Amino acid sequence: MAKKIKLPTDTNKRAKSIVDALTSEDKDTTSQEDLIKAAAAALGRKGGLVGGKARAASLTQKRRTEIAKKAAAARWGTKAD
């Protein structure tokens, strides 16, 4: 459903807005910038879903332990070894 256009109270402005509405073609509501933003968001989401699993698969057990100790120290305020 089309949006309702609020018409001005001035007679001349009202007439011009009616003529503009009747003679104008439908404008594309999505701009090029919106399409680019949507594509970038989809690409970032795709990489985010894959990234954690790929990183976990590439880390060694020793490195995962170091990362976990550092995270625990940051969270609980203890000193890491």
pLDDT, tens digit, for every residue of 51-80? 888 888 899 999 999 999 999 999 988 665
Q: What is the pTM of this model?
A: 0.39
Residue spans of the domains in the chain: they are: 46-81
Residue 28 has pLDDT above 60, yes or no: no
Classify residue 66 by burial, with Cβ atoms within 10 Å: 0-12, 13-18, 19+: middle
Q: What angle do CA 5, 9, 13 make, to 5 degrees?
A: 75
Gyration radius (Cα) of the chain, Å: 28
More confident residue, 63 or 43: 63
